[in-house]
Amino acid sequence: MNLEMNNLFEIGQKYSLNFRITKEMIKRFSELTGDVSSLHVNEDFGRRSIYRTNVAHGMLTIAHLSLLEFFCEDSLRFSVSKISANFLKPVFVDEPLCLEAEFKEWQKEENQFSIEYCIKKAESDVLVATGFLALNYSSEDDKKRLKTEFNLEPPSNTRMLEVALQERDFKIDQIEKNQKSEFSFKISRDCADVLINSLLADGVGKKHSKRVINGIDANLLATLLFSTFAGMCIPGRYATIINFQVNFDKQIQWDKIYDFIGMVTFKSSVNSISESIMMKGSKDEKETVYARGKMSVQVNSPSVVMPSIDTLRQEALDLQLKNKVVLITGASRGIGETTAKLFALHGAKVAINYLKGKDEAERIVQEIMGSLDAKAIAVRADVSNFDQVNSMVKTICAEFGTIDILVNNAVGNAFETDFMALSWEEVQKDIDIIVKGAFNCCKAVLPYMVKNGKGKIINVSTIYADNPPARQFKYVVAKSGLVGLTRSLAVEFAPSNIQVNMVVPSIIETDLTAGINKMVLNSAIQNTPMKRLASPMDVARSIIFLASSLNSFTTGQKIMVTGGNAPFL
């Protein structure tokens, strides 16, 4: 190290600078570099971005390297030969930052020294960026060197780009390997003056207002255009620079025109791209390469556009149940009867399954077809018998073509019985109707749903599976099995776009609960926050919701129809 350098620098010597980025700095940086990317300057776009606000250009933070002390020596001149950065966190407006740099190595043969730097959030020491900088040094004998002080009237209307760029908006699937873009630029001394005096002075405070900046060169300013390429060319408005590095083969000269050329070299599966960068001479120097570099860019996803009124009218007001084919087991009375009628009101074709209630089932069919001019059939089958279920499904498909929605509602009885008085045959009977019945119906219907690429299965469970009362062992065991069936099928058939869910009501005043002691029913009413029992309509509405277009992403779940009773999900 020569005497002059020896007197000024030591290996391990450190420098620091406190600053912040203001809105005005972002505006002026955009004007200087031509990077008017929406992420930085459009408030509405910033609010909808992943950052929820506008963020500062990463290269604007890097530009503060030009304010470090070694650039301020009157007798020294520096030229950037290498520079790199890894951007770890976004920088927000008015966030206090600290730039720290350390002199690492002097290479006498190349007349070059290097520093490592980092930028931290001043209040938390969280790293924002890290990087490396290599500078070539020479004694000051250049009469044309830049010598400037912060002043109150910096040059106006200074631009680095020859022609303003239109912001591109490539999404990740629109970007291809070897895709190229380029623009022309020119670095003037006025550009340096604007950067130092108008831009950076705004964020470092009054104590820097009289500093003399000699060392800044055109290479450092040209580096700022990495931001312009990413934010305006490829990918454009959805870009966030992850890292970059550049080596300068030749010195960028003041007031000469150059071409900035970038090309996509790699596209990852995690929405990022790699790009190679060259700065080449223009016109008669087109084959002369002044700098080579590369950068990685995150291609952020566009903000989610909320549905229009027309879309909501089509997809939300219309439940999309018209002409859907619905099979409801145990539908000759109670919840099943009400659900069948409600589906028919929405234009569905309804198949009413019954075992013993033929007259009731046919009455419901006549009521639906007579009042609504809708389509309905009654089909007998013991759901615990697969052959009968399979025959029922074939009959329905012969009549209506397919089955879109299955409601497993069939149940035996809910008579209170002491456990010690139960036989396994009685328990097995409930399991056969509720669990085996649902199993058989799903087994017969699912092939049609898989073929159609969609389907809805709704199982009617009970609050008793979560809060079992005394003397309801066989009913609780069977309904608990239905819970397991629901969850298992939901996971297995979700890839086929088939949703399997449960409706879980508390006590409902139907024929099923007629055998429950009236004192128990009255107690249930008093203990329910809404002071009434659930009605068949309450349950039917929940079934309609799960079967409709309002439910497109919920599966393996349960809707509690309990009037405020526990359990709470």
Cα separation, 278 vs 263, whole angstroms: 9
Buried b (16+ CB within 10 A) or exposed e, 132-144: ebbbbbeeeeeee
Dihedral pair phi/psi, residue 221, rounded to 5°:
-65, -40
Determine whether 475 is an active site residue. Answer: yes
Q: In terms of Cα–Cα distance, which of 490, 393, 481, 392 is closest to 432?
A: 481
Count Cβ neighbours within 10 Å for each residue of 182-200 and write b for 16 or more, e otherwise: ebebbbbbbbbbbbbbbbb
d(CA 356, CA 59): 78
Q: Where are the beta strands (DSSP E) in 206-286?
A: 212-213, 239-248, 257-267, 272-281
What is the CA angle 542-545-550, rounded to 5? 155
Q: Assign 356 to helix, strand or coil.
A: coil
* In contact, 529 and 568? CB cutoff 8 Å: no
Cβ neighbours for 113, distance < 8 A, ≥ 6 positions apart: 5, 9, 103, 104, 105, 106, 107, 134, 135, 137
DSSP 566: S
CA pair distance 530, 156, nearest whole angstrom: 71
Judge whether 266 and 273 are in contact, CB under 8 Å: yes
Burial class, 515, CB count within 10 angstroms (exposed 0-12 / middle 13-18 / buried 19+): exposed
Active-site residue set: 475
